[in-house]
């Protein structure tokens, strides 16, 4: 970001998405833009490790993966999953709109790619459904799936954490968006026991939410 | 769906499936398109190390677009641009718009719609 707090790289164009689309898929909001800011700040470091395979879980509108593609042109194969078929469709459309290739799939977390991409993911990204909700709101595959996180807002992201160690390459990194209620310190402890160090890249208040972008990378003593 | 995606998908998510790769592609000829994608030899060369080449070849052959692609990987594949260009073509330029991906073990079909495979399972399949 420059001194005015603007992205040096333009926010992906999502003008092709209409109001009615956002009844069904997540409209880019403060959490999305915070994640874009964080990824932009990581650009030099990411370029150095020359990522080849990237996966975004819960791609929604596709704005985050499109942005990642513009940060790292031509070097990465980008795969995306979303449990909402409309989201995967819009992800692919957003890729086209921004002239980047997003290989979108409808699926649950990383499972469609698990066996083939194991130990090969260089960048894993998840802006999860982090809102604290009653448990019964979890498990839809429409718009509620973009926010409903059940107890502590952790029900969905907790399903991904045990898979991260298997999915990531040696130099692989995992970016996660959370709010304070998700208890980032507890996530840090869980991931540490799997050999990952956590960094808080950015924190920002948006209305009642205190958002953070967390980065997980293998502890150097575990490599 | 490009063949690079097909090369990375399995049906191992299905309960009890151990050999869920490669998925068989079923697609009507008129639902398979060729698009132009810029060739990047470095990317293609690096991806060669991650690909299941046999699965790529079979998929291209199933779709009727394997002509010119060697059945076996050439020994100097990392720097052989002619070979890499052929790999690039089948990997990135063939797109299946409508069809199915079929689990080799159970026959369970995953639909491809608007170029996007749907790998979601029902609760009793997991």
User: What is the rounded CA–CA span in Å between residue A64 and residue A123?
Assistant: 12
Chains A–B, number of C-beta pairs less than 8 Å apart:
77
CA nearest A120 in B: which residue? B50
Phi/psi for A98 (5° steps) reads -105, 10
Residue A19 CB neighbour total at 10 angstroms: 7
Best of A115, A117, A138 to disrupt the B interface (most B CBs within 10 Å) is A115
Query: Using the beta-carbon criterion (under 8 Å), do A105 and B119 form an inter-chain contact?
Result: yes
The closest of A197, A206, A139, A218 to A178, measured between CA atoms, is: A206
Best of A112, A118, A145 to disrupt the B interface (most B CBs within 10 Å) is A112
Which chain A residues contact residue B42 at CB under 8 A?
A: 75
pTM: 0.96
Task: Tell me the pLDDT tens digit for each residue of A93-146.
Answer: 999 999 999 999 999 999 999 999 999 999 999 999 999 999 999 988 889 999
Query: Using the beta-carbon criterion (under 8 Å), do A79 and B10 form an inter-chain contact?
Result: no
User: What is the rounded CA–CA span in Å between residue A47 and residue A68?
Assistant: 11
Query: Using the beta-carbon criterion (under 8 Å), do B116 and A106 form an inter-chain contact?
Result: yes
Which chain B residues contact residue A116 at CB under 8 A?
A: 7-10, 21, 52
User: What is the rounded CA–CA span in Å between residue A218 and residue A144?
Assistant: 32
Q: Which residues of B touch A (CB under 8 A)?
A: 1-2, 4-5, 7-10, 12-13, 20-21, 37-38, 40, 42-43, 46-47, 50, 52, 92, 113-121
Query: Using the beta-carbon criterion (under 8 Å), do A105 and B115 form an inter-chain contact?
Result: no
- Which of A83, A85, A103 is nearest residue B5 as measured by Cβ atoms? A103
Which chain A residues contact residue B113 at CB under 8 A?
A: 85
Task: Tell me the pLDDT tens digit for each residue of A43-83.
Answer: 999 988 899 999 999 999 999 999 999 999 778 999 999 99
Query: Using the beta-carbon criterion (under 8 Å), do B116 and A79 form an inter-chain contact?
Result: no
Residue A54 contacts residue A68 (beta carbons within 8 Å): yes
Query: Using the beta-carbon criterion (under 8 Å), do A105 and B9 form an inter-chain contact?
Result: yes
Query: Using the beta-carbon criterion (under 8 Å), do B21 and A111 form an inter-chain contact?
Result: no
Whether A142 has its CB under 8 Å from any CB of chain B: the answer is no
Tell me if residue A117 falls in helix, strand or coil. helix
pLDDT tens digits, chain B, 126 residues: what are they? 999 999 999 999 999 999 999 999 999 999 999 999 999 999 999 999 999 999 999 999 999 999 999 999 999 999 999 999 999 999 999 999 999 999 999 999 999 999 999 999 988 888
Instruction: Classify burial at A61, counting beta carbons within 10 Å of its beta carbon; exposed 0-12, middle 13-18, buried 19 or more.
Output: buried
Residue B115 contacts residue B94 (beta carbons within 8 Å): no
The answer to whether ipTM exceeds 0.95 is yes
Query: Using the beta-carbon criterion (under 8 Å), do B46 and A89 form an inter-chain contact?
Result: no
Residue B50 contacts residue B85 (beta carbons within 8 Å): no
Quickly list H helices, chain B.
Answer: 3-6, 41-48, 53-62, 81-88
Task: Tell me the pLDDT tens digit for each residue of A155-193.
Answer: 999 999 999 999 999 999 999 999 999 999 999 999 999
């Amino acid at each position: 970001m420059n001194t005015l707090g603007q992205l040096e790289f333009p926010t992906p164009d999502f003008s092709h998405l209409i109001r009615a689309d956002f009844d069904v898929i997540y409209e880019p909001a403060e959490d999305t833009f915070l994640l874009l800011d964080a990824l932009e700040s990581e650009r030099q470091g990411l370029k150095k490790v020359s990522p080849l395979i990237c996966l975004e879980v819960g791609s929604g509108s596709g704005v985050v993966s499109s942005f990642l593609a513009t940060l790292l042109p031509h070097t990465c194969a980008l795969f995306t999953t979303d449990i909402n078929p409309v989201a995967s469709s819009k992800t692919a459309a957003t890729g086209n709109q921004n002239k980047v290739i997003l290989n979108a799939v409808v699926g649950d977390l990383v499972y469609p790619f698990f066996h083939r991409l194991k130990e090969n993911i260089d960048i894993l990204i998840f802006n999860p459904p982090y809102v604290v909700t009653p448990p019964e709101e979890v498990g839809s595959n429409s718009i509620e799936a973009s926010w409903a996180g059940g107890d502590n807002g952790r029900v969905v992201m907790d399903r991904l954490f045990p898979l991260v160690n298997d999915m990531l390459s040696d130099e692989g990194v995992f970016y996660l968006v959370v709010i304070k209620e998700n208890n980032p310190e507890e996530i840090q402890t869980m991931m540490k026991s799997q050999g990952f160090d956590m960094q808080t890249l950015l924190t920002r208040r948006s209305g009642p939410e205190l958002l953070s972008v967390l980065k997980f990378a293998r502890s150097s003593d575990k490599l | 769906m490009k063949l690079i995606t097909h090369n990375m998908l399995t049906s191992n998510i299905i309960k009890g499936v151990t050999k869920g790769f490669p998925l068989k592609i079923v697609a009507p000829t008129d639902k398979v398109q060729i698009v132009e994608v810029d060739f990047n030899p470095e990317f293609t060369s690096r991806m060669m190390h991650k690909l299941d080449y046999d699965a790529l070849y079979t998929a291209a052959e199933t779709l009727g677009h394997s002509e010119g692609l060697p059945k076996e990987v050439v020994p100097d594949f990392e720097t052989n641009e002619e070979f890499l260009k052929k790999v690039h073509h089948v990997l990135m330029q063939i797109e299946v718009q409508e069809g199915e991906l079929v689990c080799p073990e159970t026959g369970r079909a995953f639909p491809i719609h608007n170029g996007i495979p749907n790998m979601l399972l029902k609760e009793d399949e997991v």
